[in-house]
Amino acid sequence: MGNKLSGRFVAGMELADALRVAESVNKQGMFVTLDSLGESVSSAAEAHKAADVYHELLDSIRERHLDANISVKLTQMGLALDPELAEAIATNLTEHAKYTGNFVRIDMEDSPLTQVTLDIVRRVNERPDLRGAIGIVIQAYLYRSQADIEQLIADGIRVRLCKGAYKEPAEVAFPRKADVDANYIKLSQTLLESPIYHGLATHDEAMIAAAKSFAKKRDITPSRFEFQMLYGVRRDLQRKLVAEGYNVRVYIPFGREWYPYFMRRLAERPANVLFIAKNMLRK
Ligand code: FDA
């Protein structure tokens, strides 16, 4: 039942499912980032177990010559229990990624965790041997994001820009979609103009059109940035961008803890509820 429900947005329950899907997405000319699903853990042992899956992923990516990196949530690495534990795990993963020629993207969670997530990523990146092997996510709905992006660029840290997926109060985030969209365009321009390779994560055609036209105007070639989209969302648009010569990375989640991820995807687009329900009724 869970499998059938989540299948639209989740590659499968096992690591092998994720690798199989990653290979097929690579064959379609797109890069991948892999997310082993799971959020807040309740013990250090659980955090280490979650990290082990990512270590296995890094080895498998290298063995299979996949064009894939990993996306990691710090709460799954024990952030809520002990920030030092999460930092130690993030450091280990980044060491492993560096050693295998790979990259760790730290996902961004809700706003009480923004500062601590930034601090951890910055400290890991400050280690000269790890520089460039860790990146972060910035959410356009937060008022603070322009300042954060400027600092991250100064620190040489790669950013994935998204609109933001959590319910946030008006004290910290734009309540109106129009303001979030305007900020997304503004922030994406700051990123595009920087000398660092960043990711623009969105399925919004208006955001994508704005980025393409800004890049063309400023002679920023498509090889200097990438678009990122979620597995199962706007596959038509993913293929179109590839055909036009843009870099596209697909975010592929997998694992048994699919429920919160799945619910965020449904909340983003109520039509998805109907879509999933219809598929459930089909044989
Ligand atoms: P918006 O929500 O305005 O949607 C624009 C259009 O895209 C919709 O009209 C619809 O056509 C399509 N669309 C969007 N979502 C859809 C869905 N679920 N199903 C079907 N169609 C959909 N957030 C976060 O807080 N922290 C993070 O670390 C990340 N990481 C991340 C990685 C990647 C690769 C992506 C693409 C997104 C994230 N996000 C995220 C989620 C992000 O913040 C945001 O919630 C979603 O991407 C939806 O926003 P859009 O930019 O697509 O625009």
Average pLDDT rounded to a whole number, residues 39-45: 89
107 annotated active-site: yes
Query: Does residue 14 contact residue 50 with C-beta atoms inside 8 Å?
Result: no
pLDDT for residue 273? 72
Average pLDDT rounded to a whole number, residues 236-263: 93
Distance (Å) from CA 245 to ligand 1 centroid: 22
Give the residues surrounding ligand 1 with Cβ less than 6 Å away. Answer: 107-108, 137, 139, 162-166, 201-204, 228-230, 233-234, 251, 265, 268-269, 272
How many angstroms separate the CA atoms of 261 and 91, rounded? 25
Average pLDDT rounded to a whole number, residues 61-87: 97
Q: Does domain 2-281 have CATH number 3.20.20.80?
A: no
Question: Distance from CA of residue 63 to its chain's centroid?
Answer: 23
Q: Are strands 247-254 and 134-139 parallel, antiparallel or unpaired?
A: unpaired
How many angstroms separate the CA atoms of 73 and 198, rounded? 19
The CA angle 187-208-21, to the nearest 5 degrees, is 110
* pLDDT > 90? residue 237: yes
CA atoms within 13 A on the CB side of 136: 28
Average pLDDT rounded to a whole number, residues 150-162: 98
Catalytic residue from among 35, 148, 158, 160: 160
The per-residue pLDDT of the chain, averaged, comes to 94
* Type of residue found at 173: A
160 annotated active-site: yes
Of all protein residues, the one whose alpha carbon is nearest to atom 18 of ligand 1 is 265
Average pLDDT rounded to a whole number, residues 141-152: 98
pTM of the model: 0.95
